[in-house]
Amino acid sequence: MGWTKIDWACGHSGEIQLYGKMADRESKAAFEAGRQCMACWLVDQWEQNSDPRAKREDRYKLAAQIAEGKSKRIKVADAVPLKNDKASLMAERDKLVARIAEIDAMIEEE
């Protein structure tokens, strides 16, 4: 038994707990790296089935917590705004505009 670091095809990274012979572990790690992580898979399933969890900003964090119960530790963002939710996108835009203003002020000070 041991934890193996994985970089999934979806861009997330983390660790999976593997059991068995070393050759079997390496094969399983390579297989996992070639597909999307369990968190992305769960969110896709929720979206396809119109599950209310798909509309939560913390949906990836929730999916990662479920995956951890399945021996997979996935590093994901705390909150991801919904792509089609105008209010969430506007809030994210406002945060980015404020950050740009901070950077502009620092540049002007130099």
Contact indicator for 74, 81 with CB cutoff of 8 Å: no
Q: Are the beta carbons of 11 and 28 closer than 8 angstroms? A: no
- The predicted pLDDT at position 46 comes to 93
* pLDDT higher than 60, residue 81: no
9-38 pLDDT, tens digit per residue, is 988 899 999 888 888 888 888 998 899 999
Provide mean pLDDT across the span 46-58. Answer: 90
pTM: 0.66
73-82 average pLDDT score: 76
How far is Cα 65 from Cα 54, in angstroms, rounded to an integer? 15
Secondary element (H or E) of residue 90: helix 86-109
pLDDT for 52: 92
Domain boundaries, the chain: 2-79
